[in-house]
C-alpha cells in the first residue's frame, strides 16, 4: 500500500503529518511511504532524514495523489486534491466536519474514505491517537509563552535588594487539555494561577496543579458522556461573566480555552470585561478559530484595546512549537495505523464494528456514513 504525505496547502501551516521516525515505523509495518520534498522544512525535519527512514520524496504531487492508497495531512485538503484521489483510497487529517459539509460531500462523491482526527473517541484505548489532545496540550503551553513575551512584567515573585516584585496573576478559563497545560506552564514560570471550568470534575485537577479553582454558581452544568462540556444557557453565561469580571480585572494574563464540542465557542469575555482590565495585560484566545471566547479577538491578529489590553488571536498556537507538534501528531498517526494494521496481510483492516473506526470514519463507499454527518433521510 502506498501512503503519501503532501505538503500542507494552508500557507501558514508549519506542521507536517509525518516525521522521519514515524515514517520508519510505517515502512516497518510494510507501507510504501512517499512524501513531498520539503515536507518538514517549516517544522525542522530534513529531507535527508526522511529519505534515510525509507521515504521516497516525490515532486509530482498530482501523480503521487493519484497513485496513493492512503493520504496523510494535518489540515483539510483542497477540493481539487480529493477529485484526483483513487476511489477506495483513504484520507486522514483534521477536517472540521461540523463546518465542512461540502468537503464531506466531495469525499463521498470521489469514493474516498475520510477519517477526521477530531472525531477519534477520547477513550483510553484511543489515547495514543488522540490528536486533539496532543495538539491542545502544546497550544496551552504556547499560549502562556506568547503571553509572557508580550507582558511587560516578570511572572515569578522576586525578592531583590531593590524591593519585591509580585508574582503575575494568570486566569485560565476552561481547564480541559489546553487549559490544564496552560495552568501547569504558568505555575512552572512562577505565576499565581486561578482557573474556572463549567465541568465540576475539573476542580480537583486544577487544584492538583497548585492553582486556585474559581467558584461560580451556575446551577446545573455537567458534561456529556464523551466528557465534553454541555452548552450553557444565556442566563448561565451572563452569571459566569459576572463572576469572572473581577478576576479578569485583577489578572495580568487571561487565557481562554473554553469550547463546546461541535458548536461555536461560547463568548465569555465581553468588551466591558476587557475595559475593566489593567493596561498592559494580555489575553490569549485559544478558541479564536472556533468562534472565539473573547469579544474583540480576531484570528491571526493581535488587537490592542483602547485601555491597552493586548488580545492575541493566534489561530494555531501549537504551530509555534511545530517541531514537537509534528512529532506528537505523527505519533498519533502511527498509533492509528498500528491499531488497524493486519501484519499478516500487510494491509489495513477497517472493520466497521471497531469503536474507534465508527467514531472517526466520516465517508466510505461513496457516502457520508458517520451518523452525526450523514444527510437526514
Ligand atoms: P474542549 O476543547 O472541548 O473544551 C475545553 C474546556 O472548555 C473543557 O474543559 C470544557 O469543559 C471547557 N468549557 C466549555 N464551556 C465553558 C465555559 N462556558 N466556561 C469555562 N469552561 C468551559 O475540551 P478538551 O480539552 O478537548 O477535553 C474534553 C474532554 O475530553 C475532557 O473531559 C477531557 O478530560 C477528556 N479527555 C479524555 C481523554 C481520554 O480519556 N483519553 C483524552 C483527552 C481528553
Determine the residue of 119, 214, 218, 227 to mutate for testing ligand 1's pocket, defined as the one with the most ligand atoms within 8 A of the Cβ atom: 227
**Residue of 201, 258, 270 to mutate, ligand 1, most atoms within 8 A of C-beta:** 258
- The structural domain count of the chain equals 2
Alpha helices in 155-196 (DSSP H): 177-188
Which is nearest to 22 in space by CA: 129, 116, 123? 129
Residues 286 and 157 in one domain: yes
CA distance 24 to 6: 17
Mean pLDDT of 137-166: 98
The mean pLDDT value for 28-41 works out to 97
CA angle 114, 333, 182 (to 5 degrees): 110
The CA-atom distances, in angstroms, between 173 and each of 5, 154, 256, 269, 293 are 36, 21, 5, 10, 9
Q: Are 113 and 89 in contact (CB under 8 A)?
A: yes
Tell me if 76 is assigned to some domain. Answer: yes
Which of 299, 320, 341 lies at the terminal end of a domain, its last residue? 320
Asked if residue 127 has its Cβ within 6 Å of ligand 1, the reply is yes
Beta-carbon contacts of 80 under 8 Å, excluding residues fewer than 6 positions away, are none
Domain co-membership, 99 together with 74: yes
Together in a domain, 122 and 205? no
Q: Please check whether residue 215 lies inside any domain of the structure.
A: yes
Distance separating alpha carbons of residues 263 and 118, to the nearest angstrom: 13
Q: Average pLDDT, stretch 322-350? A: 96
Instruction: Calculate mean pLDDT across residues 305-327.
Output: 97
Name the least confident of 10-14, 237-241, 278-282, 330-334. Answer: 10-14
Nearest atom (ligand 1) to Cα of 178: 25
| Interval 265-303: pLDDT, tens | 999 999 999 999 999 999 999 999 999 999 999 999 999
265/349 same-domain check? no
Predicted local confidence at residue 228, as pLDDT:
86
Report if residue 376 sits inside a domain.
no
User: Cβ distance 36 to 42 under 8 Å?
Assistant: no
**pTM across the whole model:** 0.96
Residue of minimum CA distance from atom 32 in ligand 1: 227
What is the pLDDT at residue 214? 97
Residue 224 has what pLDDT? 82
User: What does the pLDDT read at residue 226?
Assistant: 76
Which residues are known catalytic residues?
122, 127, 130, 133, 228
Mean pLDDT over the full length of the chain: 96
Residues 158, 287 within the same domain: yes
pLDDT in tens, 165-198: 999 999 999 999 999 999 999 999 999 999 999 9
CATH number of the domain that 149 lies in? 3.40.50.720
- Say whether both 161 and 307 belong to one domain: yes
Asked, for residue 333, whether it belongs to a domain, the answer is: yes
Atom of ligand 1 nearest to the CA of 261: 3
Domain membership flag for residue 377 = no
For the Cβ of 124 lying below 6 angstroms from any atom of ligand 1, the answer is yes
214 lines ligand 1 (CB under 6 A): no
169 within ligand 1 shell (Cβ under 6 A): no
Q: Are residues 80 and 219 in the same domain?
A: no
* Chain-centroid distance, C-alpha 255: 15
Same domain for 229 and 101? Answer: no
Distance, in Å, from the CA atom of 18 to the CA atom of 228, rounded to the nearest integer, reads 29
313 and 245 in a single domain? The answer is yes
Q: Are residues 357 and 224 in the same domain?
A: no
Q: Is 373 a domain residue?
A: no
| Rounded Cα distance, 130 and 145, in Å | 24
In terms of residue numbers, what domain contains 145?
A: 137-320
Give domain status of residue 255, yes or no.
yes
324 pLDDT band, cuts 50/70/90, is very high
How would you class 163 by CB atoms within 10 Å of its CB: exposed for 0-12, middle for 13-18, buried for 19 or more? exposed
Report the pLDDT value the prediction gives residue 153, as an integer from 0 to 100.
97
Contacts of 102 (CB under 8 A, 6+ apart): 79
Count of residues in the chain:
377
Share of the chain above pLDDT 70, in %: 100
Residue 181 lies in a domain: yes
Q: Report the pLDDT value the prediction gives residue 177, as an integer from 0 to 100.
A: 97
Same domain, 103 and 219: no
Cell, residue 119: 472525531
Reported as a single tens digit per residue, the pLDDT across 198-238 is 998 999 999 999 999 999 999 988 788 777 888 999 999 99
Q: What is the pLDDT of residue 12?
A: 86
| 155, 299: one domain | yes
Strand order in the sheet with 367-368: 56-57, 32-35, 2-5, 70-72, 90-93, 113-116, 361-364, 367-368
CA distances to 182, 193, 339, 352 from 137, rounded to whole Å, are 8, 17, 23, 30
Amino acid at each position: 500500500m502506498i501512503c503519501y504525505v503532501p505538503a500542507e496547502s494552508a500557507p501558514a501551516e508549519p506542521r507536517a503529518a509525518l516525521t522521519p521516525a514515524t515514517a520508519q515505523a510505517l515502512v516497518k509495518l510494510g507501507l510504501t511511504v512517499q512524501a513531498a520534498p520539503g515536507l518538514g522544512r517549516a517544522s525542522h525535519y530534513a529531507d535527508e532524514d526522511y529519505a534515510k527512514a525509507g521515504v521516497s520524496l516525490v515532486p509530482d504531487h498530482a501523480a503521487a495523489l493519484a497513485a496513493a492508497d492512503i493520504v496523510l495531512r494535518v489540515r483539510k485538503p483542497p477540493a481539487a486534491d480529493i477529485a484526483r484521489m483513487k476511489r477506495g483510497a483513504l484520507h486522514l487529517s483534521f477536517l472540521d466536519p461540523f463546518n465542512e459539509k461540502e468537503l464531506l460531500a466531495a469525499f463521498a462523491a470521489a469514493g474516498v474514505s475520510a477519517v477526521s482526527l477530531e472525531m477519534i473517541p477520547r477513550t483510553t484505548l484511543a489515547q495514543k491517537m488522540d490528536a486533539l489532545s496532543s495538539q491542545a496540550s502544546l497550544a496551552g503551553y504556547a499560549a502562556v509563552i506568547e503571553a509572557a513575551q508580550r507582558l511587560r512584567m516578570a511572572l515569578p515573585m522576586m525578592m531583590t535588594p531593590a524591593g519585591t516584585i509580585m508574582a503575575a496573576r494568570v486566569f485560565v478559563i476552561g481547564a480541559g487539555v489546553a487549559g490544564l497545560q496552560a495552568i501547569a506552564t504558568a505555575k512552572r514560570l512562577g505565576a499565581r494561577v486561578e482557573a474556572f471550568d463549567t465541568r465540576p470534575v475539573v476542580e480537583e485537577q486544577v487544584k492538583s496543579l497548585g492553582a486556585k479553582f474559581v467558584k461560580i454558581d451556575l446551577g446545573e452544568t455537567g458534561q456529556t458522556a464523551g466528557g465534553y462540556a454541555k452548552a450553557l444557557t444565556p442566563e448561565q453565561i451572563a452569571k459566569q461573566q459576572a463572576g469572572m469580571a473581577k478576576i479578569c480585572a485583577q489578572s495580568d494574563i487571561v487565557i481562554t480555552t473554553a469550547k463546546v464540542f461541535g458548536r461555536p465557542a461560547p463568548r465569555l469575555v465581553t468588551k466591558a470585561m476587557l475595559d475593566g482590565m489593567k493596561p498592559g495585560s494580555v489575553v490569549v484566545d485559544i478558541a479564536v478559530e472556533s468562534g472565539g471566547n473573547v469579544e474583540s479577538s480576531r484570528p491571526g491578529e493581535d488587537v490592542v484595546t483602547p485601555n491597552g489590553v493586548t488580545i492575541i488571536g493566534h489561530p494555531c498556537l501549537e504551530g509555534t512549537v511545530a517541531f514537537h507538534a509534528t512529532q506528537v501528531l505523527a505519533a498519533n498517526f502511527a498509533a492509528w495505523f498500528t491499531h488497524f494494521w493486519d501484519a499478516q496481510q500487510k494491509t489495513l483492516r477497517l472493520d466497521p464494528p471497531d469503536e474507534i473506526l465508527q467514531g472517526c470514519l466520516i465517508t466510505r463507499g461513496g457516502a457520508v456514513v458517520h451518523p452525526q454527518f450523514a444527510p437526514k433521510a
